[in-house]
Structures are given as structure tokens and as C-alpha cells.
Structure 1
Amino acid sequence: MASVGALLMLLPVAWTFANYVLVSYYVMVSCFPNAIIANVPECPYGWEIDQLSLGGVCYSGIHSPGFYRFIIPDLTPKNHSYCGTQSEYMPGKDPKYVFYNSIVSNDTSLTVRNQPVNYTFNCMYRAAYLVNNAVFSQRVATVYVNNGSLGTFRSQLSMNVFTNSKFLYAKDAPYVIDTSEIGSEVFIGIEAKGLSNRFKVVINNCWATPTPYSTDKKRWSLIINSCTSDHTVTIFENAKDSRSMFKFNSFRFQRLEKVSTVWLHCEVQVCDGERLVCQPVICLLLILKVHLGDNTSVLLLVEFLMQDFYL
């Protein structure tokens, strides 16, 4: 996995002891997609490395020139936190995960001669992403993957075209479909690598455009609210694991003779399966809306029955 740059967070901390206010120190934090590294100044207030602990639990500091380094190697260990690391989910239009911990002093001797220290730090990661890809072309296609970003799971996400419904082998770019093969099946897998099984990949929406721009007004929907848009789309697995898969029949946009590439865009979410309900609701209502159109009375009855079913 490609490394990402360090995030310098200046977090002033002041302690009061015996009516004296001491000067501020800081902690330098590097936020990686699957790890956090925190560095504090060497010997803060006289404390040695074996007297400082991560989360008050782990005495795992490493001595580097001028600093003590503490590493959280796994953001999402299953069923427990790593050395007191806590996480919080912040819902909304741009949902996020916040992981936080502290480096604290601890002296078991009878008398304490150093000021207590408590370096608190956190890393914030976005939970929703737009994944773009040139899915297929009648002549040539290029797969675009953005590698590496700070404070995000984005660098862990990839979208690939696979050879068949077993999703074992990804096709090499460029992925070309001859004109005579339009209508053939295209198998798509979206995967988050390097994250624990606690996180699930949820496909919310997928659509295709004749340009690389996801906001292009010329678009064809494939998945809407985690449901297939028509019978040519099949979702094999969604929100159950670190990879979600679906297929659709290849096509081209009409009246655009010079356009040969179809671009696929998917809104996906990284969902914490131990804190949230990641499985999408059943798609019965969406299917009925497609077939019934504006038959409001029937749809209201179906909505009422579905609510009663979930209760």
C-alpha cells in the first residue's frame, strides 16, 4: 500500500499543578487509511518512554531522535479497540469516522515528581466516496484509480472489471468490447483493501456517462439506492464484506457516434458493521414504483405493509 503524507496537528495542552500553568506541547499525528502514528516530544516534563502509555493500556512507545513514537497499526480490530483507541461515527451529508486516543503518563512509585501529561489526538476519515472508472470502450479504455490521500479510506478503494461471475480475475486495461459484442455482460467489483472485515463496502448508486464527468446530464442509471434499475442489472453481493459485486449488459449511448467510452460512477460507503446496520433495505418498493408508475394508492398500501413487516 502506498504511504501517505503526515498530518501535522498542533494540539495545545496545558496542565495546572501547584498553582503553576506550564507551557504547551504538541503531538504530531500521521493519519493513514489503516494506521495512525503519533509522535510526542522526547522526555516531556522528565517522563521516560517506559512511563508513557497509549490509551493508558499499552507501553509500546518507540524512541526516535527527539521524539517518542506510538503506533496504532489496526484502526478496526474486531470486537475490541487497540490500546484504548475509540471510534465515533458522525452521520450526515458527508459521513465520517473519527478515531481518537491519548498518550498519558503513569508512575507507580509512591511519590510523583513530574507533571502529569495527556496528549490527546484524533484522525478523521470520510465514509462516503465517488468511485470513477472507464468501464469499457469499443476501441480503447483506460482504468483510472486515485492512489493515496490523507485522512481517508479512498486510497483503499478500487473498482475493476472481472472476467465472470466468480470475480476471481480482474481484466487488464485497456478493456475493449467490439461493436458486435455490445450487450455482453460486464462484471464489476468494488473492493476495500487493507481494512478489517468490520468495515463493509456498500454500493448506494451507480450510473454511466459518455464522459469522465459524473455530473454529465447524459447518464444511465444502473443501481439506485442499492437496488437494480432494471432486469439487465444483477447485484451479486452488497454490504456483506469488503467487496461488493454486480453485473450489467454493455451498451453504447445513442446519437453519439464519436463517443466510444462508457464511464461508470459509483457512490459507495464504508460502513462499520459493528456499529451500524449496513445491509440495504429490500428493493420491493423501488421495483413496484418502476412498474406501477404513478399509481399512488397502491404504492401507499405497499409502504404501509412494508412498515408493518419491519415492525
Structure 2
Amino acid sequence: MASTQVLLLQLLLVSLASASHYFGATTTFTYKGRNPDGTFKVDFQNRDTFDGCQYSHQWSCYNGDCGTDVEYHRGVLDRSTNAPRYNNQWCETETVLTKHVPSNKPFEMRANSCCWIPAHNDVYWRLLTHVDLGTRSDTGEPNRSPDVAILPFLRVPENCPRSYRLMAFDPDGDTVRCRYGNTVDSECSACYQPSGFFLDEDSCTLHYRYANADPSVYGFELVVEDFPRYPITLAYSDGSFSSKSPLTVERNRQTSTPDPWTTMSAATTISQWWYWGQSTPTTPNTPPHATTPPLSKLPLQFSFLVDPPAPSCQEGEYLPMFVNPTPQHGDHIHAEVNKEVEIRVKARATYSTLHDIIMSGPTNISKHRSTHDEFVIRWTAAPEDLGEHYAICFAVESFTGSGIYQSEMRCVVVDVTKEQVYGDVTVNAMVNSIVSEEETKNAMTAHDDTASKLSDPTNTACSLKRHSNSTHVIAVIPLNACGTQLEEDDDNLIFKNEITTVDDHSDLITRKHLLEVEFYCQYPKRGNVTLGFTAHRKSVTVWEKGFGTFTYQFEFFHTNHFRTMMDPNSYPLEYDVGSRIYIDIEASSSINNTELFVESCWAAPYDNPNYRPTYPIIENGCEVDETVEIYSPDHQAQFKFSMEAFKFIGLHDQVYISCSVLMCEAGNPNTRCSQGCINSTQSGGHHHHNRKREAVIQSASHFVSQGPLRLRRAAESLLNPDQTNLNLNLNLVFIAGCLLAAVGMISAVVMYKAKMSKVKYEPLPAFET
């Protein structure tokens, strides 16, 4: 019996360990107005972090009337594989739950389950949210909760003390306080308070002092509360009232700053000599507690991992250090509805490699890494976000060997407001330029001694006076001039510039920076072409740094003289299998002394660069198809060749021909163009290509294609009557043969069944079964 109990206990422990997947969560609520039926509309923003993106919390009503759930939306905020070694990843999601509650009286909701990822505290977790929508006597509006944010998974080397400041904004201007949960089974499970940490409740600052490195995390179960700065009353829809008082505690505590933003993260690393040379606060056995009830109560739970010691705690060496243009902790960033806001983050680390940025923020937030080694966080406010405030937290991670290092955590505030009063700005992205039109509304014309300029106005083509008038500043800006900057991420090419209004007394400096209007055009690097595309493809125009603008033209010709081009209106072109196809690829460039090189060409039944498999025609500059014949070009930016038409096996009756081409500095022996045909078995070619591209002596490879070519089937060929009769007779013979074969097969089956029916079956003896 004892062994059975031990086995059951072991199975339970294994089950709990396998289910350990919880990293933490936060919750806030927002009043969204009154419904026609008199109920109150409330949105809950629940951010949950697990070791997979498929999990979320299940909330239940804990106290009061919590109303009914009417709608919810769920999305992934961020994920990372830099998780503790016993978890594959962490993933933070946000579920926006809309509820209709019958009154604005207080109520409480709770979520609880199992299990934390292996942590020093209890395996279970508890979350409690206290909601009070009473109408405040000081604002005349329903009470609103603080908006809190923190990264769900923090890590720090064992030997590097650091401070983390929580970002908690209260839109009512209330005092915000953070504390450990102290009510078992509602605010927390075991209400564990990790050693080696000190929580300053009034400033919401968590100080890491020292703890032994351990693969288990410290699970923090905090509670965020808000208190009015002056005595107020809350009025409810049933005619009742309640009184709320400022925060008081059992012992004197440092008062919060009057700024409604209280902070808990970002961290400047505290050097070891400072830490060991100064006295440090200690956590009292019985922390003081508020003697007045709060307006709201929000859960704040996260995981904290203490890593093995770092070789150095100096920021910028192993631990990434933020540099310009990264915003400071607590900065406010203006956002407008339906306009994308951009937060640029840059860090450096001398002895480790930057890996990724982790973040937490509102739904639909995204992150990108640019070619300037910057991280870009982007978010677009929806109409329902107007008037709201959202905290966004971020940190940069780096690695060296098996060590993973996190920068300080910074948080900023995005304020969603209406359009600025200066006027409308319209930006159109053209093929070779950006057209920006701004309605001034006296913003730029209020001072006679001011002027509007682009980033680089030295070129006369960049003057804003050429197209502007008395009411609008109009700029037609080339993509490669006037100070336009090119940035690139995984998905887009981004061209940026800005119009700046300054005093008109100097061309170099200004001390009257009145207005800056930044704008950009974004060009996607990838796109899908529908498989039903059957029209002639137009020329491809490309702009590239160091080569300016150049255009590729891909055409088919009637003969090897390459004088008469196939009519674009005649596509799809029709060929007989085995007939010769004449192809001409040319490039025209605004830069002289350039030459064209065709790296590879291939054929496919669809005009899709990702279609596989394809038939190779030219590879690495070498002829692969045995029927290819290359002709002498008329100039350096031309490539002429021909091949015999063929048909793909199967039902495909059309062919597209695609090529990978690039431009080089003519005559330069270090370019890919000068190398010509390179056997694919040679090593190092690809690395050589990248190194030369960085020297701006050759362009990137570009994709060009043309088609379709339609291969005539035999039934469509023009045959003489005798040949047609012969084909008909052969078909009749073939059909008759098939019928005879079918009759023979049926007869054989009948005879076989008749024979098998005479076979008798007997059971096997017992010893043979």
C-alpha cells in the first residue's frame, strides 16, 4: 500500500512538472461607456505569459455582480526562445474581454490554476482584480484603473545588482502603490516574497541585490493599487455612495511624487563596489499595509531568473547598453488614431552579440530590426483608443557562448490624441520620389523670419518654394537626394525625410526650431503574384545606393537578328515544341560605365519565384541547357540568347522564363560580372559576392521574368488530311485493342472465380492454431 502511495505521489509530481508553463500576467480595465439598456461597458486587458501561445487565463466572478461576457479579441504580443533551459520559449498574449455589467458597483474577478514554471514559490497561481466604476466627485467621471506594464520575463547575472522600476500610469492622477500579495488563495497562492530582493512599495521599485544563480525562477506575485490624493466620494447607479481617502499606512512611509507616473523599471546597473560599500535596505518581517481601502486592485505577476555571474557588470560590455535614439524611461510619445507610431531602440555591447528585443505593450504592436542595427517598435492606434494611454516596455538581449544578457528595462507612455492642429499631411509614394503635401494653417506662415527646409536643401531641386503656395507646403523629393535616408528591415524598404521650420538667418544652425514634420514611404520587399497572371510584364525599375535608378527590360524577339520585338498585346506567345525562342534582357541606368550580368535563368509553369521545381537554363553564369546559344551584345548592358522551346510534362501548357540579374561597375575585375561563369562546386563564391556588394561596385541581384509562352499541343498543329486520317485510324486500332484487352481480363476473372469455388476449406488441428 505504501509503495502505491509513493508511486501516485511521483506521478503527481511528474504531472505538475510537465504542466509547469506559467510565467506571469497583468490585468487592467477601461470604462467604455453606457449601453442603451443601461448596463456599463467595460474592457479588460489581460496579458498572459506561458511557454506557448495557445494558453490564456479563465476568469471567474469572485465577488459582486460581474455581468456578462459579450466579446473578446486575442493576439500575440511577443515571444522569445531565450527562456529558462527547461522551457522552449515564452509567449505573451493579450486578451481584450468586453463585459456588460448591470451597475457601477464594485465587483471582483479571479483567475487561478496550476502551474508556474519551476519556481522558488508555490506551483499554483492566483490573480485577483478589484473593479470600482463609481462616479468620482473630483472628476465627475467613472473611476479608472492604472495602466501597468512590465516585461513578463526578466533576467540578471548573479553578481550585478540592478533596479527595476514599474511603469504604472493612473489617468485620474491617483497615487499608485505596489506591494506583495498578502491574501492567500485570492491575491496570491503561497504569497512568497523572494529573498535577495527589496521592493520599495511607494515608488514601485524592485531592487535586486544578490541571490544565488539557480535554474528555477523567482515568481513575483505583486498587487498594484491606486488611492486618491484627496478625500473623494464615489456615486453609484443605485443612489448609494462610498468615501475614499488618501493612502495611509501603519508606519510612516516616503510619499509618492505628485507625478501620476510611478515607475518600477529600467535599470541602471549598480556596480559591485557601490553595492558592497553602501548600506542597503532590508525587507521587514511584517511589511506595513494600507489602512484605507484602494480604489482599484490589479494583479502584477512576472518571472525573474538569476543567471550565473557575468564577466563584467559594466553596461555596454556584456550587458547591452541603450544609446541614442532610444527614448528615456518614462518618456511620453504622441500617437494619433490610424497613424503608425514608431519607437526606435538602439543598444551596444562590446563583448557580446545583440540578439533580439523583447517588449510588452498593446495589441497589434510589432517589432523589426533595421539594417542600421536598430530595433523599431511600431503600433497603430485604433479609433477606440482615442484618449487612452498605453505603457510599452522593452529590453535588448545579447549572448556570448551560453551566456544570455539583458539590458535594463525601459518603459514609455503612448498618449493617443486627436490630430495636431497644424493641419493635414498627405504623403504619396511614387516610383522614384516622395510627394508630401502639408496644409500649413498658419503654422509655418505665422512668422516672416522663418523658412521650411528638407534635411538637405543644398540641391536646388530640393527647394520647397518650387511647388508650395500660400496655404500648402508641397515637396517632391527624390528617393536618392535632399537628405532622404534609406532604411531596411526584413519586410520593407523605408525612405525617410523631414520638413523643418527654422529661422531664416542661417543655413547651418538654428535656435528657433519651431516645427518638425517627419514623413516616410514604405515599399514592401516581397509580394505575391496571382497564378492566373497571363499578360505581358512591364519593365522593372529599381533604385539602389551607388547605382541610382535603372530599368530592366525583358523581351522576346522573332529572329536571331533581334530587330522585331514580339507584340506585348499578343501574349501569351505560342511556340511549337522544338522551335527556337529568342530572348533579350537590357538595362538602362542613370549611371554611366555600368554593365549587366545574368547570373541565372530558369523556367517554370507559373510566374511565381517561389515555385518548385524549376528547369535550369543558366546557372552561376554558365549555360546549363544544351540548346542555349548566346549572342554578342550591342552594348555592355545587354544580354541576348536563344534556346529551343519545350513543354513541362503533365497538363502544364505554358512556360514562364525568369532570370536573376545584377549591375556592376564596368571593367572592375573585382565584380561578379567580371568573373563570368563560375562552377557551382567552387567554394567561397557567395562570401566573395557579399563582400564586393558592400564596396558599392555592384548591385544586389534582381528578379525579372517574362511570359507566358504557350506550347501548341498536337491536336492544335496544322496537319494534312491524309495525316489526320492516319491518326484517326491509329486511334481506332488503339481503342479496339483496349476493348479486346478488357474482354480478356474479364474472362480470366470469371474462370479464376469458378476454379476457386471448387476449393474446400477445413479447420486446422488444434496444435496448428
- The one-letter amino acid of 1:32's match is M
Asked if 1:70 corresponds to 2:465, the answer is no
Distance 2:639 2:438 in 1: 43
Equivalent of 1:32, from 430, 433, 437? 430
Cross-structure match for 1:196:
590
- In the TM superposition, residue 102 of structure 1 has moved relative to its aligned partner by 2.4
| Aligned equivalent of 2:504, options 108, 121, 126 | 108
Q: Residues 235-272 of structure 1: CA distance to partner in whole angstroms, max 9, x if unpaired?
A: 867x964xx5342313213643x543222233456x69
The alignment status of 1:262 with 2:655, answered yes or no, reads yes
The residue identity in structure 2 corresponding to 1:171 is M
Change (3 A) 1:128 1:85: farther
Secondary structure at 2:678 match in 1: helix
Q: 1:59 — aligned with what?
A: 463
1:44 aligns to 2:418 (yes or no):
no
Separation of aligned partners in 1, 2:595 and 2:447: 41
Instruction: Report the secondary structure of 1:60's partner residue.
Output: coil
Structure 1 residues 70 and 280: alpha-carbon distance in aligned structure 2, compared to 1, 3 A threshold: same
Match of 1:160 among 555, 578, 583: 555
Number of positions where the alignment pairs a residue of Structure 1 with one of Structure 2:
249
Letter in 2 for 1:207: W
Q: How far is 1:36 from its partner? A: 1.3
Residue equivalent to 1:79: none
Give the Cα–Cα distance (whole angstroms) in 2 for the partners of residues 186 and 100 of structure 1. Answer: 42
Tell me the amino acid that sits aligned with residue 616 of structure 2. Answer: S
CA–CA distance in structure 2, aligned partners of residues 183 and 63 of structure 1: 58
Aligned-residue offset at 1:217: 3.5
Query: Which amino acid in 1 is paired with 2:430?
Result: F
Q: Secondary structure at the match of 1:51?
A: strand
1:48-89: CA deviation from partner (whole Å, max 9, x where unpaired) = 7982123343433333585311112x434xxxxx3x334447
Distance 1:147 1:228, change over 3 A: closer
Q: Which residue of 1 aligns with 2:603?
A: 208
Label 1:263 to 1:204 Cα distance change in 2 as closer, same or farther (>3 A): same
The residue identity in structure 2 corresponding to 1:51 is: A
Query: Is 2:582 the counterpart of 1:186?
Result: yes
Could you give the per-residue CA deviations for residues 276-304 of structure 1, whole angstroms, max 9, x where no partner exists?
A: x87446244317x4xxxxxxxxx57x98x
Q: Name structure 1 gaps, 5 residues minimum.
A: 1-7, 13-22, 77-81, 135-140, 290-298
CA–CA distance in structure 2, aligned partners of residues 89 and 235 of structure 1: 39
Is 1:101–1:121's contact at 8 Å kept on the other side of the alignment?
yes
Distance 1:48 1:118, change over 3 A: farther
Q: Compared with structure 1, are the counterparts of its residues 86 and 167 closer, same or farther at alpha carbon in structure 2 (3 Å cutoff)? A: farther
The structure with the larger Rg is 2
Structure showing greater relative contact order (alpha-carbon pairs closer than 8 Å, 6 or more residues apart) = 1
Q: Provide the identity percentage.
A: 15
CA distance, structure 2, for counterparts of residue 133 and residue 186 of structure 1: 24
Residue of structure 2 equivalent to 1:223: 618
Instruction: State the match for 2:521 in structure 1.
Output: 123
**Of 675, 679, 683, which residue of structure 2 is paired with 1:286?**
679
Structure-2 separation of matches of 1:148 and 1:284: 25
Letter paired with 1:162: F
TM-score for the superposition, normalised by structure 2: 0.26
Residues 202, 278 of structure 1: 8 Å contact kept: no
1:59 alignment partner AA: S
Relative to 1, partners in 2 of residues 1:89 and 1:169: Cα closer, same or farther, differing over 3 Å? farther
Q: How big is the shift at 1:143? A: 3.6
**CA RMSD across the alignment:** 5.2
Q: How many angstroms apart in 1 are the aligned matches of 2:484 and 2:559?
A: 40
Question: 1:29/1:265 Cα in 2 relative to 1: closer, same or farther (>3 Å)?
Answer: same
| Cα contact 1:205–1:266 (8 A) shared by 2 | yes
TM-score (norm 1): 0.56
Check whether the contact 1:131–1:268 (CA below 8 A) recurs between aligned residues: no
Name stretches of at least 5 consecutive residues in structure 2 with no aligned partner: 1-337, 343-419, 693-769
> What corresponds to 1:249 in structure 2?
643
